[in-house]
């Protein structure tokens, strides 16, 4: 993963988080996983990341989410969340519209 890919993922996470808070949707773990799965699959489908980068990006996104929670999630659980994110190949463009639209 390049520094540019890392910055892209963090920037898109921050955009979505701000959107979710602004819309009073809340930013739950479930919403985060749904968003992250779609984002990573979009990145890979658009050739912005390689298949090999998926896990690293999922972990960066999970760490960003955890930082917003005051780092309450353990490192082992962060790896489990990252694995859950990359295990799904779905994309919901309606979730991505707020950051790309």
Would you say the pTM of this structure is higher than 0.85? yes
The structural domains of the chain, with segments of one domain joined by +, span 3-15+27-100
CA 5 to each of CA 39, 41, 54, 66, 73: distance values in angstroms, whole numbers, following the listed order: 12, 14, 11, 19, 24
pLDDT tens column, 68-78: 889 999 999 99
Give the pLDDT confidence score for residue 27 in this predicted structure. Answer: 78
- For 43-101, what is each residue's pLDDT tens digit? 999 999 999 999 999 999 999 999 988 999 999 999 999 999 999 999 999 999 989 87
Closest listed residue to residue 41, CA positions, set 10, 100, 85, 99: 85
DSSP state of 44: H
């Amino acid at each position: 993963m390049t520094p540019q890919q890392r910055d892209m993922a963090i920037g898109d996470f921050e955009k979505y988080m701000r959107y979710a808070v602004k819309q009073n949707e809340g930013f739950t773990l479930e919403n985060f996983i749904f968003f992250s799965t779609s984002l990573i699959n979009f990145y890979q489908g658009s050739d912005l990341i390689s298949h090999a980068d998926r896990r690293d990006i999922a972990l960066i996104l999970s760490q960003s989410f955890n930082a917003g929670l005051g780092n309450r999630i353990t490192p082992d659980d962060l790896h489990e969340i990252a694995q859950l994110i990359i295990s799904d190949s779905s994309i919901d463009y309606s979730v991505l519209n707020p950051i790309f639209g």
